[in-house]
């Protein structure tokens, strides 16, 4: 009887220890092609965003894991359902605010229109895109204002990934490709097509990067502490250093991975 009681107590202790361990492990993920903020590396999302989230939760004794969970649409859906606690980089829209609590902004991100080299056109305002064929990637948003304009006024197709968007552009199937400037330039370099694309001279918009915490996550209660720590990391230059460091890391990672010419997907 005594040994049975000991085993029962031990089992209960292990059960509750497992609950505590699970509760202290935060799942953070993000877009697989948005270097230097976030990108897929093997089965992990790495970049300045995941590293920043780890720093923000360090003082709270929370372990952060950042697995690759699929394309951006799937990752957002899992976060809306609470299967992912945090999105490490997110633009703000009214629709997303229904599912996520946003941190303070931590970096600005210019969004541009890529065009095939030599195929640029006059562009000074959004209306100049009307009547032309454009593309962007599935699940991407570019802020409330431009999203609304895009939906109402533009002819846009959605590609599964950056490779296919650039392929459409180079083959003349679309006139422009809307994407974040820094991430798009990184991906063009990775694909070996920097000599085949260029940017329209004026930005489409400039969005802020935020950390999005799922409203269904138990970690949403820490948002005030997160914002306080985030302010400190911005003020002391840590966020800028992370972006620079991971930008350099991504350049090194793609240096030996550039595909041969003609390998873009159709």
Kindly list the averaged pLDDT for each block of 10 residues, start to end, along the chain of length 266: 42 41 80 98 97 97 97 97 98 97 98 98 98 97 96 97 98 98 97 98 97 98 98 98 98 75 49
User: How far is it, in rounded angstroms, from Cα 160 to Cα 138?
Assistant: 6
User: How far is it, in rounded angstroms, from Cα 59 to Cα 141?
Assistant: 32
pLDDT digits (tens, 9 = 90+) for 194-213: 999 999 999 999 999 999 99
Q: How many CA atoms lie within 13 A of 197 on its CB side?
A: 32
- Angle in degrees, CA 137, 162, 79, rounded to 5: 50
Alpha carbon distance, N-terminus to C-terminus of the chain: 71
Of 247, 207, 205, 208, residue with least CA distance to 113: 205
- Cβ–Cβ contacts within 10 Å for residue 226, how many? 21
Do residues 95 and 209 make contact, with C-beta atoms less than 8 angstroms apart? Answer: no
pLDDT digits (tens, 9 = 90+) for 106-134: 999 999 999 999 999 999 999 999 999 99
Domain 1-266: what homologous superfamily? Periplasmic binding protein-like II (3.40.190.10)
| Residue ranges of domains in the chain | 1-266
């Amino acid at each position: 009887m005594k040994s049975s009681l000991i085993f029962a107590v031990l089992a209960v202790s292990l059960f509750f220890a497992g609950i505590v361990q699970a509760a202290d492990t935060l799942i953070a993920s993000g877009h697989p092609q948005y270097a230097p903020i976030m990108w897929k590396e093997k089965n992990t999302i790495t970049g300045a965003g995941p590293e920043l989230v780890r720093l923000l939760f360090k003082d709270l004794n929370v372990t952060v894991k950042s697995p690759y969970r699929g394309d951006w649409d799937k990752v957002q859906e899992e976060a809306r359902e609470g299967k992912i606690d945090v999105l490490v980089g997110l633009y703000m829209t009214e629709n997303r605010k229904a599912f996520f609590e946003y941190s303070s902004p931590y970096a600005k991100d210019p969004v541009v229109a890529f065009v095939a080299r030599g195929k640029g056109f006059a562009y000074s305002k959004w209306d100049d895109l009307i009547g032309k064929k454009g593309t962007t990637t599935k699940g991407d948003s570019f802020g409330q204002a431009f999203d609304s304009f895009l939906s109402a006024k533009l002819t846009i197709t959605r590609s599964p990934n950056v490779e296919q968007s650039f392929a459409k552009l180079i083959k003349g199937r679309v006139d422009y490709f809307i994407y974040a400037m820094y991430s798009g330039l990184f991906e063009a370099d990775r694909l070996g097509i920097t000599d085949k694309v260029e940017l329209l001279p004026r930005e489409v918009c400039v969005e802020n990067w935020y950390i999005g915490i799922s409203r269904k996550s138990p970690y949403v209660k820490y948002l005030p502490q997160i914002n306080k720590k985030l302010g400190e990391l911005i003020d002391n230059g840590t966020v800028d250093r992370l972006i620079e460091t991971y930008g350099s890391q991504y350049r090194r990672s793609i240096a030996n991975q550039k595909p041969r010419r003609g390998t873009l997907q159709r």
